[in-house]
Amino acid sequence: MPYTIALAGKGGSGKTTMAGLLIKYLIKANKTPILAVDADCNANLNEVLGLEIKDTLGNAREEMKKGVVPGGMTKDIFMEMKLEESLVEAAGFDLVVMGQPEGAGCYCAANTLLAGFMDRLAGNYPFIVMDNEAGMEHISRLTTKNVDILLIVSDSSRRGIQAAIRIEDLARRLNIGVGKSYAVINQIKEAPSDQALKMVEAGGLELAGTVPEDRTIYEFDFNGRPTIEMPEDSPSVQAAFKIFDKIL
């Protein structure tokens, strides 16, 4: 079974960037191949990784619903073909994107497709890194389940830490099979206050570490450069690698 690390947190906490840095770390450590999973309906992990998305699982399902199936091909074979086409291959890792259904509606079917596809692919990868959507919906929909590490990314704000605590609490109450949960306080300008540290501890979370605000991330993002290519001497990369050394 692959070793699975899922990332969660409120919007704007930097969890997708952290997912990219985790993949960068695993590649450097020769812990490959990695299956990178973008389970966020607002997909952008591909930008962090410098990849172009050709298709998504959500698109594949929509095509099947519309009856876009070639003559002589069953729906099952068509879906298998489309799922394989949605996998983007790269050096040391592959990426699969859940995407979203066309128009308004529930994401349950896309989640189910993603879970099934991951089960099929699991034997091909020793490591899986899953970037989830912001908030707690992925927990309640059981998209995130049976993971070795749940890495909850927060900023240094009270709301960010409260969101991290709620995610951990929900994961525990739903008993979704999380081996270990850690909190990471990201984008900090100074060391967390005693009050912030007490909040994390009182919420039952183990703080794996902090990552400083880093202008290099902003520059890469603004210029459309994949943050996975950031130099290893960048403060954020060094801090993130130190955290990964601790928890993996």
Helix/strand/coil (H, E, C) string of 4-63?
EEEEEECCCCCHHHHHHHHHHHHHHCCCCCEEEEEECCCCCHHHHHCCCCCCCHHHHHHH
Give me 111's structure tokens: 């989640």
Would you state the pLDDT for residue 101? 52
Residue written as token pair 């994949």 = 226
Q: Are 69 and 58 in contact (CB under 8 A)?
A: no
Cβ density class 136-169: b for 16+ within 10 Å, e for less: bebbebebbbebbbbbbbbbbeeebbebbbbbbb
Would you state the pLDDT for residue 170? 84
Between 213 and 135, residue with greater pLDDT: 213
* pLDDT one-digit tens code per residue, 158-193: 988 999 999 888 888 877 788 899 999 999 999 888
pTM here is 0.87
Strand, helix or coil at 213?
coil
| Residues above pLDDT 70, as percent of the chain | 85
Between 203 and 139, residue with greater pLDDT: 203
CA atoms within 13 A of residue 90's CA, in its CB half-sphere: 19
* pLDDT one-digit tens code per residue, 57-67: 777 777 766 66
Between 58 and 29, residue with greater pLDDT: 29
The answer, yes or no, to whether residue 91 has pLDDT greater than 50, is yes
Query: How much is the average pLDDT of 102-106?
Result: 49
* pLDDT one-digit tens code per residue, 118-142: 777 778 899 999 998 775 555 545 4
Spell out the domain ranges in the chain: 3-247
Between 9 and 212, residue with greater pLDDT: 212
Lowest mean pLDDT among 49-53, 98-102, 185-189, 201-205: 98-102
Q: Are 8 and 152 in contact (CB under 8 A)?
A: yes
Residue 18 CA, chain-centre distance (Å), reads 8
Would you state the pLDDT for residue 220? 95
**Which residues on neighbouring strands pair with residue 94, listed in sequence order?**
35, 89
Would you state the pLDDT for residue 140? 45
How far apart CA 210 and CA 184 sit, in angstroms, is 6
Would you state the pLDDT for residue 79? 72
What integer best gives the mean pLDDT of the chain?
Answer: 85
Residues 6+ apart with CB under 8 A from 182: 149, 150, 151, 152, 205, 206, 207, 208, 243, 247
How far apart CA 88 and CA 96 sit, in angstroms, is 6
CATH 3.30.365.10 correct for 3-247: no
Would you state the pLDDT for residue 90? 95
Strand, helix or coil at 119?
helix
